Chains A and B, each alone.
Chain A
């Protein structure tokens, strides 16, 4: 095999040898090695762990890990709280992501239109919450929702934002508050890169601002919107900081409120192997959903 290759390929290969192979390795290896260590190995290790089960020699015997096949996965699929938490974040995402991205797009279009003055100020004011880490934002809003501390006590004493019915949407508000400005900026900078001649041509054809927005701007920034949507989908399935913080404000947030909280609780139990299986299932779910979204929107964008 190698000898036939060697006989056939040299003329072809020598035509285009890889130039600067040493330099390329020097450029790529540092990242590549660390990527392997801190991305590929952990993924493989989680998969490996998820196939083990803990066995004991008798009730008080020493625990040892043995290969258990799909035993952990069978448990994952029978685990009610885990699937409830997945359903919960999916419901959260179906409402929160469109609202957030809709607002981001609206603000980006307004910033880009001649209607709004003081663009610099608004751009900054809307973006400032992004500088607040999720944990800190959740703590702040936790105080704002608490009846005795809130500046809006008239509102918070009549509506219990931290009740079982509303706490999910109270968190949705925190996430929206943090990320609207950030997504707005990504869409806005993509708007800025549209050549102005296109607008002039459209105006000559008699198109108004609204028409230009819908027929030109939105289609052209679709890739930016898709990117922000994918990051939002990933973020939604990974919700952790907000529910974890809200547990100290509201008893309605259980230890299995979101998939990541379930994983954390399971790992602390400690049931590492089941937690690993949860992680794998969650990562695969995230991957499938973002990939499906990408394929779906691409088909729509090019249809």
Chain B
């Protein structure tokens, strides 16, 4: 119990500090107790951050939601279909295909970033939304999870029954199997959402125009300009607080699904 309490402090104090710091104005940031409130300026601070440079911060947040939300949604659908087919159909080369995809799990995303940049620059497509979005919709780990979970949770009898009722394979998947695979699919979605939201290398080398930035890259550039533009320091703190809220909300909303899917990944 004592161990748990001590570590709760370790995990939560930085976030508490961030929250407190985001409520202070610039002079109070250094002058007052860092772990307790001074004058509450949170609303004013947020307004300043959001309106700074024509509201570029909000644009970053929207970009991040589009990259991570849209990307994870498509990635989940593609990985779910592929993993399901690998689990439920018998065909030649199935194991080979699965092993190739599984090998993709071990390929670090950062090792792909540089060649992807070179490829996209060949077709003059760097510095576009798509150059970051398209590579994000491939999730080998999602295929792996979906295959394991489909194998364990979608009974063959149910698929046969659906066939006898005259449903096509695709229809069976979307009406019957998807429901049974739901916890795994939510887990895949969240994994991919977090992976895209946190991805740094790819946007860093791909994007030049700050209007395409995800919020992490935006805050990073602000933070590296603090020495020239001191007011950015408090903007970075307020922006950081705002940027972690969507993920916490997503986790809270979906937690009863993803927790039951999480165990599936460790079945080896």
A contact set with B: CB distance below 8 Å: 16, 18-21, 23-24, 26-28, 30-32, 34-35, 38-39, 41-43, 45-46, 49, 103, 106-107, 110, 115-117, 122, 125-136, 139-144, 148-151, 153, 177, 180-181, 185-186, 189-190, 192-193, 221, 223-224, 226-227, 230, 234, 237-238, 240-241, 244-245, 247-248, 260, 263-264, 267, 272, 275-276, 279-280, 282-283, 286-287, 290-291
State whether A23 and B168 are in contact (beta carbons under 8 Å apart), knowing that A30-B81, A35-B104, A131-B248 are contacts in the complex.
Answer: yes
Q: Are A107 and B4 neighbours in the complex by a CB distance under 8 Å? A: yes
Q: Are A134 and B240 neighbours in the complex by a CB distance under 8 Å? A: no
State whether A126 and B11 are in contact (beta carbons under 8 Å apart), knowing that A23-B170, A133-B244, A260-B201 are contacts in the complex.
Answer: yes
A280 to B115, CA, bound (A): 10
Partner of A126, one of B7, B78, B143, B237: B7
1/0 per residue B183-226: CB within 8 Å of A? 00000000000100110110011000000000011011001101
A272 to B18, CA, bound (A): 39
Partner of A24, one of B18, B85, B134: B85
Q: Are A150 and B3 neighbours in the complex by a CB distance under 8 Å? A: no
Scoring B14, B97, B226 by chain A CB atoms within 10 A of each residue's CB, the highest score goes to B14
Specify which chain B residues have a CB less than 8 angstroms from the CB of A136 in the assembled complex.
Answer: 216, 219, 240, 243-244
Specify which chain A residues have a CB less than 8 angstroms from the CB of B110 in the assembled complex.
Answer: 238, 240, 260, 263
Q: Are B265 and A227 neighbours in the complex by a CB distance under 8 Å? A: yes
Specify which chain A residues have a CB less than 8 angstroms from the CB of B247 in the assembled complex.
Answer: 131-133
A122 to B4, CA, bound (A): 7
Q: Is B15 an interface residue (CB 8 A)?
A: yes
A162 to chain B, nearest CB (A): 14
B170 to chain A, nearest CB (A): 6
1/0 per residue B14-56: CB within 8 Å of A? 1101100100000001100111000000000000000000000
Q: Are A264 and B205 neighbours in the complex by a CB distance under 8 Å? A: yes
A135 to B218, CA, bound (A): 10
Interchain residue pairs with CB less than 8 A apart (15): A21-B91, A27-B169, A35-B138, A38-B112, A43-B111, A116-B4, A132-B247, A189-B260, A189-B266, A223-B267, A238-B111, A248-B223, A248-B227, A264-B205, A267-B114
Partner of B169, one of A20, A30, A43, A149: A20
Specify which chain B residues have a CB less than 8 angstroms from the CB of A226 in the assembled complex.
Answer: 268
Q: Are A286 and B108 neighbours in the complex by a CB distance under 8 Å? A: yes
Partner of A31, one of B81, B201, B263: B81
10 nearest CB pairs, A to B: A151-B34, A224-B266, A27-B85, A23-B169, A42-B115, A31-B82, A131-B247, A283-B111, A189-B263, A46-B115
Q: Are A133 and B197 neighbours in the complex by a CB distance under 8 Å? A: yes
Scoring A115, A133, A140, A245 by chain B CB atoms within 10 A of each residue's CB, the highest score goes to A133
Q: Are B219 and A131 neighbours in the complex by a CB distance under 8 Å? A: no
B contact set with A: CB distance below 8 Å: 1, 3-4, 7-8, 10-15, 17-18, 21, 29-30, 33-35, 78-79, 81-82, 84-86, 89-92, 97, 101, 104, 106-112, 114-119, 134-135, 137-138, 140, 143, 168-170, 173, 194, 197-198, 200-201, 204-205, 216-217, 219-220, 223-224, 226-227, 236-237, 240, 243-244, 247-248, 251, 259-260, 262-263, 265-268
Secondary structure class of chain B's binding surface, majority of residues: helix
A117 to B8, CA, bound (A): 14
Specify which chain B residues have a CB less than 8 angstroms from the CB of A193 in the assembled complex.
Answer: 263
A128 to B78, CA, bound (A): 29
Q: Are A30 and B78 neighbours in the complex by a CB distance under 8 Å? A: yes
Q: Are B198 and A134 neighbours in the complex by a CB distance under 8 Å? A: yes
A260 to B201, CA, bound (A): 9
Nearest residue in B to A22 (C-beta to C-beta)? Answer: B169
A132 to B216, CA, bound (A): 10
Specify which chain A residues have a CB less than 8 angstroms from the CB of B170 in the assembled complex.
Answer: 23, 26-27
Partner of B138, one of A31, A143, A290: A31
Partner of B244, one of A106, A107, A131, A186: A131
Nearest residue in B to A45 (C-beta to C-beta)? Answer: B115
Q: Are B17 and A31 neighbours in the complex by a CB distance under 8 Å? A: no
Specify which chain A residues have a CB less than 8 angstroms from the CB of B33 in the assembled complex.
Answer: 151
A24 to B92, CA, bound (A): 11
Nearest residue in B to A242 (C-beta to C-beta)? Answer: B200
Q: Are A283 and B194 neighbours in the complex by a CB distance under 8 Å? A: no
A166 to chain B, nearest CB (A): 18
Partner of A186, one of B118, B227, B266: B266
Specify which chain B residues have a CB less than 8 angstroms from the CB of A189 in the assembled complex.
Answer: 259-260, 262-263, 266
B234 to chain A, nearest CB (A): 11
